[in-house]
Every structure is written in C-alpha cells, then in structure tokens.
C-alpha cells in the first residue's frame, strides 16, 4: 500500500510539473511572443488616442490602427484596453487548457483507455469556457472599433 501511495504521489507531482511547464509556455506565447490569432494588441496609449495592432488567424500582424477620440468619447480607450487585456488572459487560459488536455489525452491513450473515454477524461471540454470568452471579447473589441469609426 505504501508503494502504491508513493507511486500516485510521484505521478501527481510529475503531472503538476508538466502542467506548470505547459502553462508557462502558454504564457510566453501570448504575452511575450504576442501570438494572438484574430486578436488585438495595444501598441501605444495616449490621452486621446490609442494604437491597436490587429492579427490574422495565424497570429501574424495584419495592420496597425490609430484611433482618436475627443471629449466625452475617451472612455472608449479604457474599454479597448480592458477588452484587450481580457482577451490576452483568456487566450492564455485557452492555450493552457488545450495543451494540458492534449497531454492528458496522450497519457490516457498510452495507458490503454479507449479513444472516447480518454477524450472525456482529458477534459477537452474545459477549453470551451475560455474559448467563448475570447470570442465575446474579440466581438466586443470589433464593436468598439466600428462605433469609433
């Protein structure tokens, strides 16, 4: 029983180490490399304007837009800043959940589980929560951009 318990503890600690590495890698991809598929990143914020980089589906920079606001419309800048930060946070969570779920799927398939049971137990469905938030955030940024033009 003691050997079985120690084996489970070692497996759990190994999983935590691998999950931490995958989560850190996802953080680097989103925040340092700026891999933001169909996303936006703020290049420069000033008192009455904001420069916004947009990316295509592959995460390659598409263009830079500079939006100017006057008077009572400067609250758009705060909203754009908030939505871009939210988009980055949930992209990080999305990439982390996908990589950890993929690792769990491979691990469970190698341990002899059937494909559908391994998919269910690897919690791929957990990626739907950050995915919906990313979609809504991107839609909200696009709405703000359309309103400001």
Contact call for residues 24 and 36 (beta carbons, < 8 A): no
Least confident interval from 16-30, 55-69, 99-113: 55-69
Q: Give yes or no for residue 149 having a pLDDT over 80.
A: no
Helices (H), the chain: 2-27, 75-110, 115-121, 128-148
Cα-Cα-Cα-Cα dihedral sign, residues 94, 102, 128, 143: positive
pLDDT of residue 1: 64
pLDDT of residue 69: 84
pLDDT in tens, 6-54: 999 999 999 999 999 999 999 999 999 989 998 999 999 988 889 999 9
pLDDT of residue 145: 87
Contact call for residues 138 and 39 (beta carbons, < 8 A): yes
Q: How many CB atoms lie within 10 A of CB 61?
A: 13
For the full predicted model, state whether its pTM sits above 0.85: yes
pLDDT, mean of residues 114-139: 91
The Cα 87–Cα 94 span in angstroms is: 10
């Amino acid at each position: 029983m003691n050997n079985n318990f120690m084996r489970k503890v070692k497996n759990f600690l190994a999983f935590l180490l691998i999950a931490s590495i995958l989560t850190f890698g996802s953080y680097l991809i989103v925040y340092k490399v700026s891999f933001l598929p169909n996303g936006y990143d703020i290049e420069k914020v000033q008192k009455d304007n904001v420069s916004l980089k947009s990316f295509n589906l592959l995460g390659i920079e598409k263009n830079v837009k500079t939006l100017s606001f006057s008077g009572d419309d400067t609250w758009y800048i705060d909203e754009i800043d908030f939505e871009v930060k939210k988009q980055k946070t949930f992209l990080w969570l999305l990439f982390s959940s996908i990589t950890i779920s993929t690792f769990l799927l491979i691990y469970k398939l190698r341990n002899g589980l059937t494909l559908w049971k391994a998919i269910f137990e690897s919690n791929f469905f957990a990626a739907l929560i950050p995915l919906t938030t990313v979609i809504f955030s991107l839609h909200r940024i696009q709405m703000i951009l359309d309103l400001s033009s």
